Structure 1
Amino acid sequence: MDSILELLPYFMLTLIRLLSFFLIAPLFSMKGIPNQFKIGFAVFTALIVVTNAPGEQPILLDGTYMLLILKEIAVGLALGFTAALMLYTVQVAGAFIDFQMGFAIANVIDPQTGAQVPIIGQFKYMLALLFLLVVDGHHLLLDGVMQSFRTFPVELLSLSVESEDIAHFITLLFLEMFMIALQMALPIVGALFLIDVALGILAKTVPQLNIFVIGFPLKIFAGFILLLVSMPIFFYLLQLLFEKIIISMSQLIRLLGGT
């Protein structure tokens, strides 16, 4: 009984990190998943962590325990934000495509966040989530957060990293997100831009032709055809994106743990 009570503070800190991660991480943060399931799954995972990798020193319920709780919330949110940010690349790429196709004014409600998102962006994001489940990406996300308990233990209070290093890491993450989004959207956006150029030349050569009546349906039709043709490239880029998510989480963990 005494050993169980000694592990209770460690278990609570582990549970807080996992709940913070599930609060914002892809798939786990979806509103369609009941909160009871999220809490139960976090408790079950925390039990696995505590029984396999308990802390080297017992954690006391003293004045520093509240600081440890705040630290665990920050670490869990940081890991979940890193994974979610890279996956939102798909929505950014879809926003580029929507703007070029003429769908920028039409938005749909994202069931995960409740915010308005572009149509093509949400379509690609749903495909990315399904593909993430197919390739067991949710297992990789769990493995990433489990690795954090070994690299950055819950009993460690002080961060061995400067705020400038974290800001530099987040800045590079944003840059990589937009670069990957541009790579995903560039084939379709480039092709639609060439259609715009062709329509502009046609408007100059045949002034009697109403380009606005012809241009919008033509660009929408061509956009859907290009989406269908570029699906293999999209899923190939998704594989690279998932690898980048795991690498980014590992880099953040090593950065916080000072290794």
Structure 2
Amino acid sequence: MLDIINLSTVPAFLLIFMRVTAFFVTLPIFSYRNVPSQHKVGFSFFLTWIMYFTIDIPVVLLNETFYLLIIKEALVGLMVGFIAYLIISAIQVAGGFIDFQMGFAIANVIDPQTGAQSPLIGQYLYTFTLLFLLAVNGHHLLIDGVFYSYEVIPMEQLYVPFSNPDMMDYVLQTFNKMFVIAFQMAIPIVGCLFLVDVALGIIARTVPQLNVFVVGLPLKILVSFIVIFISFGMFTMLVHQLFELMLVSMRSLMQLMGGA
């Protein structure tokens, strides 16, 4: 074992392990509660072992600088994984818009992956998105982001430039793009339901004997399911754009954190 691993590079191995583990804490799919913690730690260690023999390992000493590097590596992993989670959460935001118009907002369900409440339609669309991500091997590209991070954020870099205004502006712009994509996903269903509300309002004025509150809810649910079925092809295209934005956002944020 001593011939395989140089003891002087063990601190560098720990730094790689810290970045990979922190990356999986917030990364979609890998960070979910239904993935056992033992598997997360084991997979992080296995990936760290591969990266140890792949990337250039600098000499890191066990001194006060090592503790600063540990904190920096944890922040890098958490922020890169969080920006990916922020983008893909647009699916649940779009589902929240749809559920509010459908009348399903009161029927939130517990997301077994995060343990938080999520909208009903949003959870359905989110599950479909995760399956689509796995089907196109998008999780391999997410893991590839860990390898790429060492090209733009060196291990020996002591700090993350939080004072850089470009990085803060980029995070805010990414947050704005997430809501724009969520609105694009929800607008076909929300727009049709708005027209249904207008039609029900006209019927309520012209036929006062008809109880629109009794007729309106099942009618809106029926229209919603029909529109979701028709617009599912467009939803797949938006999910594809969402994946591209997620990967580009991860790469751009890592470049800003590396001072590029």
TM-score bin (small chain)? over 0.9
TM-score by length of 1: 0.96
CA distance in 1, matches of 2:164, 2:78: 16
**TM-score under structure 2 normalisation?**
0.96
Name 1:229's counterpart in structure 2.
Answer: 230
Q: 1:161 deviation in Å?
A: 6.0
8 Å Cα contact 1:161/1:255 also seen in 2: no
The aligned residue for residue 111 of structure 1 is: 112
How far the C-alpha of 1:37 sits from its partner, in A, is: 1.1
1:154-193 CA deviation, whole Å, 9 max, x = no partner?
2211345634222211111110000000000001100110
The alpha carbon displacement at 1:144 in A equals 1.3
Higher mean alpha-carbon deviation, 3-12 vs 141-150, is at: 3-12
Alpha-carbon separation, structure 1, partners of 2:258 and 2:7: 27
Mapped partners of 2:190, 2:146: distance in 1: 36
Match of 1:48 in 2: 50
Structure-2 separation of matches of 1:71 and 1:112: 27
One-letter code of the match for 1:38?
K
User: Structure 1 counterpart of 2:230, which letter?
Assistant: V
Give the whole-Å Cα distance in 1 for the aligned partners of 2:179 and 2:227: 21
Q: Which residue of structure 2 lines up, in the alignment, with residue 180 of structure 1?
A: 181
User: CA offsets, 1:193-220, max 9 Å, x none?
Assistant: 0011011111111111110010000001
Q: Percent identity?
A: 51
Aligned equivalent of 1:32: 34
In structure 1, the residue matched to 2:22 is 20
Shift of 1:242: 0.1
Q: In the aligned structure 2, how far is the partner of 1:209 from the partner of 1:128?
A: 40
- The equivalent residue for 1:215 is 216
The answer on whether the counterparts of 1:7 and 1:50 sit within 8 Å (CA) in structure 2 is no
Partner of 1:141: 142
- Which structure 2 residue ranges, 5 or more long, are not aligned? none
User: 2: CA distance between counterparts of 1:244 and 1:191?
Assistant: 27
Per-residue CA deviation, residues 53-87 of structure 1 (Å, 9 max, x unaligned), is 122x3000101111111111110000110000000
Task: Give secondary structure in 1 for the equivalent of 2:30.
Answer: coil
Q: How far apart are the structure 2 equivalents of 1:36 and 1:240?
A: 33
Indicate the larger mover: 162-171 or 138-147. Answer: 162-171
**Which one-letter code corresponds to 2:67 in the other structure?**
M
The 2-side partners of 1:39 and 1:245 are apart by 24
Question: What corresponds to 1:155 in structure 2?
Answer: 156
Report the secondary structure of 2:20's partner residue: helix
Farther-moved stretch of structure 1 (145-154 vs 244-253): 145-154
CA distance, structure 2, for counterparts of residue 64 and residue 137 of structure 1: 36
Structure 1 consecutive aligned stretches of length 4 or more whose deviation exceeds 2 Å:
158-166
7, 10, 13: which one aligns with 2:9: 7
1:123 & 1:160 partners in 2: Cα distance? 38
Residue-by-residue CA offset, 1:71-129 (whole Å, 9 max, x unaligned): 11110000110000000000000000000001111100011211111101111111110
- Alpha-carbon distance between aligned partners in 2 of 1:153 and 1:218, rounded to the nearest angstrom: 57
Q: In 2, are the aligned partners of 1:161 and 1:258 still within 8 Å (CA)?
A: no
SS for the counterpart of 1:61 is coil
Q: State the distance in 2 between where 1:134 and 1:154 align.
A: 33
The answer to whether the Cα contact below 8 Å between 2:162 and 2:168 also exists between their aligned partners in 1 is no
Letter in structure 2 aligned against 1:125:
Y
Does the 8 Å contact 1:13/1:72 carry over to 2?
yes
Q: Superposition RMSD on alpha carbons, in Å?
A: 1.2
Name which of structure 1's ranges 143-152 and 181-190 shifts more when overlaid on structure 2: 143-152
User: What SS is found at the alignment partner of 1:52?
Assistant: coil
Q: What is the alpha-carbon distance in structure 2 between the residues aligned to residue 174 and residue 159 of structure 1?
A: 20
- The answer to whether 1:239 aligns with 2:236 is no
Partner of 2:250: 249
The total of aligned residue pairs comes to 258
